[in-house]
Chain A
Amino acid sequence: MTLTSKSLPGTPAPPARRPGGRGRGRARNRFALFGRFRFGFVSPAVLLVAVLLYLPFVWTAYLSLTRYDGLASPEFTGLDNYARLLDDPALLTSIRNTLLWVLGTTVLPVGLGLLVAVLSYDIKGGTWYRLPFLLPYAMSGAGLGMLWGFILQPEGVANRVLGFLGMPGADMAFLDDGPENTIAMIVVWTWQQLGVNMLLFVVGLQSIPRAPIEAARIDGASGWRLFRHVTWPLMRPLTTVVFGLALVASLKTFDVVWVMTQGGPGRTSETLAVTMYRDVFVADEYGYGSAVAVLLTTVTGLASYLYMRRQIGKEVR
């Protein structure tokens, strides 16, 4: 074993010589004032996060163990609300619809967004082809719900257009029964979200290095083979993010459903987020609604974690 002077007790270590050390020392002095007050600068942000995020979550978790109507004091009931979750047919419908949303919104807007991006990329006037897909993104979720609620209502615009074109579905009540109403709303959501996914993919296509693509072309790759074996793998980091965002957004779907159907008729189109809102604010069951909120948070957190871990694992490999 070799002992260096650095490791000898009582021996002062020689000052480490760092390249550019003098300049960095100056910088350190310049920011010394901030260093001393760093907690003061950080604390407002920490307080905001603690007060607006962590505290409500802890409070919600506590409420999920109580029976509470928003008026009297919460009454501790242990895991009763969670036991009730297992026996609630409306929650099962809600979970089914949420899964449909996850499947639908991760496949349709992301898949179609990618398709439009690839087809319109690198062609003359591509921007103009992409523009119509992007415009609906300017609408708010509530506006989207209002507009399509009227289009899809019985004898609404959708029925009339289908009737005029002699297509099936002219008499269909799109929002009256489940899971058809959920599927209809996923299509509406796709209409709005396709554009932003497409835009992200176009940015991804623009940022990937040209050399490997050119090399693959010289080697004779083109079309689907070029995309499958060269372009797609190069875009994986971006795809991971786009897919992850769509996954989280789908799990917390609320605004479109609330505006279009309020989760009805007869609770057939509720998602977990709508069930949570309904139980708390409509049925005044703050305890049970909080249990749904904890379930939703856990599912969203777990799904995001598993997805990201898997994807990041792939990246590392």
Chain B
Amino acid sequence: MKPSKRPRVTALSIGAAMLALAACGGGGSGEKKTELKLYNDKGGWTQYFDQMGVKSKQEIGLGMKPVGYTDEPSYTAFIKASFRTKVKPDLFTWSTGGRLEEIVRQKQVSDTTALWQEAVKNGDLTQALAKYYTIDGKQYCVPLNTAYWGMFYDKKVFAKHGLEPPKTWNDLMKIAETLKSKGQVPFQHTTPTSLFSFVWFEQLLAGTDPDLYERLGSGKASFTDPGVVKVMEQWKSMIDKGWFSNPGDKADPADHFKTGKAAMVSSGTWFNTSMTQRGLKQGKDYGFFFIPNVDPALPKRSLIFESGPLCSLRKAADSEASAKYLKWWISPGAQEQWANSRGDVSGNPKVKVADPDLDRITKDAAGDQNRLVLRFFEAVPAPVLTAALDGLSGFVVKPDTYMKVLQDIQKANEDYWKNKANGG
């Protein structure tokens, strides 16, 4: 009997489609790589990553190509999707705190405990930094960058009005008053669409009650605590006085600064990179100071700190090469290039900072008078952060809503910790 053609044609079609799909899968484990792809959410830093790729090729024979994203949700979604597909990044940037814990718990990230132990022993990394990379006693990833938060100020504007960087909170308030009275907007306010609507919240709270700030991050305090409410009222009073630029202004904070729309911008030391890209020089065009505590009675100055991790996956295509790259990344030579090219500080204490102002900042930050406080972005769990960013972005344009904002954040906070307690 002559077999029917229909089943054969159908089988051929399905087979062809499967082959096509398999071809799309690509990749495979066990391959030896000579160039790694570094996926990152810092699309503006591509030139600095490229320079590092050239240097690593020369020094350890491993090149690196950056794949930069500028949209945070797209980046996060891509990385999470890569855990379930064959398209896996060799290296990727992430954030510490709840988000790192989340992917470590899913057994996606490779363990770097041995690397950390060796690096702490030979002085390339510090034990103080290790705690931000430690989950259940083991270390994961290495520091991509380290930054301290403070105030960038316009030196020319300060000089014009005879102002000096403040020593106390009251000094800072007087500077703001003076600038406002001269028609100059003192502080830049982040746009509601940016990820940084939390900046003044964290600064005011950490400078008033750092213990309460840290308890918020661990779910042991409420966002409607009287101490938190007081901070929001203080922030609101500063907005009401007209001390902030209009939050809806979409211009980049660095452009804001350059055009003189605001005399001061609160940011991480990585903001130096944005300033450098716009041709502004530290020491000449702008200066930097750590923001004094709101409460002068606090024993130590609360210093907001962040460190972004560079990670590799447990199932990376060439996990050996990825581990080799991470080890090289934290070495003094690599870090010197990385920090100095961007005009930023380094997590490696051995690094010689080329910029004398930056050197002063690094030494000041390392002093015993500071209490390092983890940035809000990393300090609270991801769902609480999302609610906080939503709420605070609404607050900056409608400051009267502060109580409702705090209640909404607290609801997300309660839901998260209740869910966690139930094993979720």
Binding site for B on A (CB under 8 A): 36-37, 39-40, 43-44, 47, 67, 69-72, 149-150, 153-155, 173, 175-177, 261-262, 264-268, 277, 280-285
Indicate if the CB atoms of A149 and B73 lie closer than 8 Å.
no
Say if the beta carbon of B106 comes within 8 Å of chain A: yes
Indicate if the CB atoms of B393 and A67 lie closer than 8 Å.
no
Interface residues of B in 245-274 (CB under 8 A from A): 246-250
Indicate if the CB atoms of B76 and A154 lie closer than 8 Å.
no
Give the nearest-CB partner of A285 in chain B: B383
Say if the beta carbon of B80 comes within 8 Å of chain A: yes
Number of interface residues of B (CB under 8 A): 41
Indicate if the CB atoms of A177 and B13 lie closer than 8 Å.
no
Residues in B neighbouring A150, C-beta threshold 8 A: 250
Name the one of A43, A153, A281 contacting B250, with C-beta atoms under 8 angstroms.
A153
- Please name the 4 residue pairs, one residue from A and one from B, whose CB atoms are nearest each other, closest first: A266-B394, A265-B192, A43-B13, A154-B246
Residues in B neighbouring A69, C-beta threshold 8 A: 102
Q: How far is the CA of A266 from the CA of B398 in the complex (A)?
A: 9
Name the one of B248, B390, B395 contacting A173, with C-beta atoms under 8 angstroms.
B248
Q: A37-B5, A264-B192 are in contact. List 7 more A-B contacts (CB 8 A).
A: A71-B108, A154-B248, A155-B246, A262-B193, A266-B391, A266-B397, A281-B74
Residues in B neighbouring A36, C-beta threshold 8 A: 5, 9
Say if the beta carbon of B77 comes within 8 Å of chain A: yes
Binding site for A on B (CB under 8 A): 5-6, 9-10, 12-14, 16-17, 73-74, 76-77, 80-81, 83, 102-103, 106, 108, 192-193, 246-250, 382-383, 386, 390-391, 393-398, 401, 405, 424
Indicate if the CB atoms of A43 and B14 lie closer than 8 Å.
yes
Name the one of A39, A155, A265, A284 contacting B394, with C-beta atoms under 8 angstroms.
A265
Name the one of A39, A262, A280 contacting B6, with C-beta atoms under 8 angstroms.
A39
A-B contact count (CB 8 A): 102
Q: How far is the CA of A3 from the CA of B376 in the complex (A)?
A: 89
The smallest beta-carbon distance between A168 and chain B, in angstroms, is: 19
Indicate if the CB atoms of B383 and A283 lie closer than 8 Å.
yes
Asked whether A44 and B17 contact (CB < 8 A) given A71-B83, A266-B391, the answer is yes
Indicate if the CB atoms of A39 and B76 lie closer than 8 Å.
no
Indicate if the CB atoms of B103 and A264 lie closer than 8 Å.
no
Q: How far is the CA of A8 from the CA of B248 in the complex (A)?
A: 84
Asked whether A266 and B106 contact (CB < 8 A) given A40-B9, A44-B13, A44-B17, the answer is no
Give the nearest-CB partner of A262 in chain B: B193
Name the one of A70, A72, A155, A282 contacting B249, with C-beta atoms under 8 angstroms.
A155
Name the one of B10, B108, B386 contacting A40, with C-beta atoms under 8 angstroms.
B10
Name the one of B9, B103, B250, B383 contacting A37, with C-beta atoms under 8 angstroms.
B9
Residues in B neighbouring A268, C-beta threshold 8 A: 394
Residues in B neighbouring A154, C-beta threshold 8 A: 246, 248-249
Q: How far is the CA of A145 from the CA of B390 in the complex (A)?
A: 20
